Amino acid sequence: MDNLSDTLKKLKITAVDRTEDSLEGCLDCLLQALAQNNMETSEKIQGSGTLQLFASLLIPQSSCTAKVANVIAEVAKNEFMRIPCVDAGLISPLVQLLNSKDQEVLLQTGRALGNICYDSHEGRSAVDQAGGAQIVIDHLRSLCSITDPANEKLLTVFCGMLMNYSNENDSLQAQLINMGVIPTLVKLLGIHCQNAALTEMCLVAFGNLAELESSKEQFASTNIAEELVKLFKKQTEHDKREMIFEVLAPLAEMDAIKLQLVEAGLVECLLEIVQQKVDSDKEDDIAELKTASDLMVLLLLGDESMQKLFEGGKGNVFQRVLSWIPSNNHQLQLAGALAIANFARNDGNCIHMVDSGIVEKLMELLDRHVEDGNVTVQHAALSALRNLAIPVVNKAKMLSAGVTEAVLKFLKSEMPPVQFKLLGTLRMLIDAQAEAAEQLGKNVKLVERLVEWCEAKDHAGVMGESNRLLSALIRHSKSKDVIKTIVQSGGIKHLVTMATSEHVIMQNEALVALALIAALELGTAEKDLESAKLVQILHRLLADERSAPEIKYNSMVLICALMGSESLYKEVQDLAFLDVVSKLRSHENKSVAQQASLTEQRLTVDS
């Protein structure tokens, strides 16, 4: 270290004299000291005030410039040296050196700037102000096609510098995207896919940039899907594949790229991984199986990519995914059920799948998870059944296959996601199916559970679906017995509250169900309707200008139906409904205006 002190003194003199030989000797000595003990040497350099000298030594025409930049790069490996490098005015001359034609100068300058930017706001800011990023991107473009080792090393350093410059900084990443870095990096990946270090740099850069919304369009306009799949096929090591997966996942969120990945043959790679890893109990293999099957499900979220893989229900991919459902591996059961739910996004697919026996497979899967089952598998299988039940022609087939009974086994579940899907599946199944709606509506256990869930204030989805199913049981069955069961279980107040929902569709469903109750079983429900303050709510709905036309229409139909009850009719009279109703006779909606005239007549005749 005494030697180092002498070198630093000598460097100060030499820096003024500009004698190249002595300067080179001093720099060699510093590099040697930094190699032996970087931290201590860096502290000495900072303490001696030598950093400021470097700014004047960074001149393009000097033969020592590359070594000066190398010393700065070594020093800037220490976090405590990055701000001092900025304060010593090193950024501007370093950025100027990026215009050099000397490959070694470019290499060491790229390293120096990259290290100063690493995790340093001040470093990034200074490079940004000096315009360093654009020069580096221009270099990447112009050097992109040269494949000799020295050039590949320089490209790797430049990629690393851009990474350090923009890492976890949205505005700087957006700046690089605007400068067109993405197509350049994709081209680099294609040309230099044999170079592990450069490939790795590109992948890390893609992973960071793909998180940004503004990157999506640029990525979609390149052949990144093809390049990544090509690279993926060559990888045998778990870590390398995982790295590519980390880029594929955010890219596969974009519909345009989903299709490109499918066309590039990613699905076949994923299916192969699943086949290789399915029986392994190694941690890495289990993780890779999960990633591959999750990614497969993600690709099916795009309409075009999903339809391409479905191939009319005869596609190899569809058949393979189907074979996951009876598997003993929970991850594959889950992915299989989610994939079916994704395939079941249009009527044609749903009808084909129900006809080809998928419902039975899903019911068998659910059966395996009734007692202490896997919640995610339950949720996924119910999601698939719910989607399959949407086409009208499927409902009767699924009901006769026993889906209702299979789903009701989960009535005791305490998991809101499972409750939510269970309710949705039952609601889809009974749509316009009077017999099934009546059967379910007379099931006291089910109705009591629905009433309980109607109060699940912590879970808005479950609460909403419970209300909608209660209403659906009445609307589709039009059964007195169903209404009696719901009254006895305390469900009326929830239907009245549902009429005040912020969602018009739910308000409407509630009003239609309440009108049926009033028409079929008014005597049984009278007290509950009174205590739920139905008449006051209807007055409010009719008086409110924001109420949708169908809400006004159904509220008046309900008012007329309530007149059969003495106590409720008295409430109607007390609230001066005539004023509100007569105003609606001139409503722009013809149905509302006609119903207002009819309701006014009823109110006048009966008063």
Report the 10 Å Cβ neighbour count for 547. Answer: 17
Tens digits of per-residue pLDDT, 27-70?
999 999 999 999 999 999 988 888 888 998 898 888 899 999 99
- For residue 123 the two structure tokens come to 């470093």
Q: Give dist(CA 323, CA 275) in Å, integer.
A: 11
Q: 352: exposed, middle or buried (C-beta count within 10 Å: 0-12, 13-18, 19+)?
A: middle
303-432 belongs to which homologous superfamily?
Leucine-rich Repeat Variant (1.25.10.10)
For the chain, list residues with pLDDT below 70: 1-2, 15-19, 606-607
- For residue 128 the two structure tokens come to 């940004």
DSSP string, 207-233: HHHTTSTTHHHHHHTTTHHHHHHHHHH
Nearest CA to 184 out of 150, 209, 214 is that of 209
Give yes or no for a contact between 379 and 411, defined as CB atoms under 8 angstroms apart. Answer: no
Given CATH 3.40.50.300, say whether it is the number of domain 1-130. no
Token match 């989903």: residue?
Answer: 258
Contacts 24+ apart (CB under 8 A), 578-584: 578/603, 578/604, 578/607, 580/539, 580/542, 580/543, 581/542, 581/556, 584/542, 584/552, 584/556
Q: Give dist(CA 606, CA 542) in Å, integer.
A: 20
Q: Give dist(CA 36, CA 32) in Å, integer.
A: 6
Looking at residue 606, its pLDDT comes to: 62
Region class of 501: left (phi > 0), else alpha (psi between -120 and 50), else beta: beta
Looking at residue 289, its pLDDT comes to: 92
Give yes or no for a contact between 538 and 500, defined as CB atoms under 8 angstroms apart. Answer: no
Its pTM stands at: 0.82
The vertex-182 CA angle with 179 and 184, nearest 5°, equals: 85
Token match 């598998």: residue?
Answer: 377
Name, in order, each residue with C-beta under 8 angstroms of 476's C-beta and a sequence gap of 6 or more.
Answer: 430, 431, 432, 433, 434, 436, 437
Report the 10 Å Cβ neighbour count for 585. Answer: 14
Helical spans, DSSP H, in 58-169: 65-75, 82-87, 91-97, 103-117, 121-130, 132-143, 149-166
Grouping H, G, I as helix, E, B as strand and the rest as coil, residue 335 is: helix
Looking at residue 113, its pLDDT comes to: 98
Instruction: Determine the residue type at 299.
Output: L
Nearest CA to 17 out of 56, 73, 61 is that of 56
Instruction: Determine the residue type at 381.
Output: A
Looking at residue 377, its pLDDT comes to: 95
Q: Give dist(CA 602, CA 310) in Å, integer.
A: 57
Q: Give dist(CA 607, CA 594) in Å, integer.
A: 20
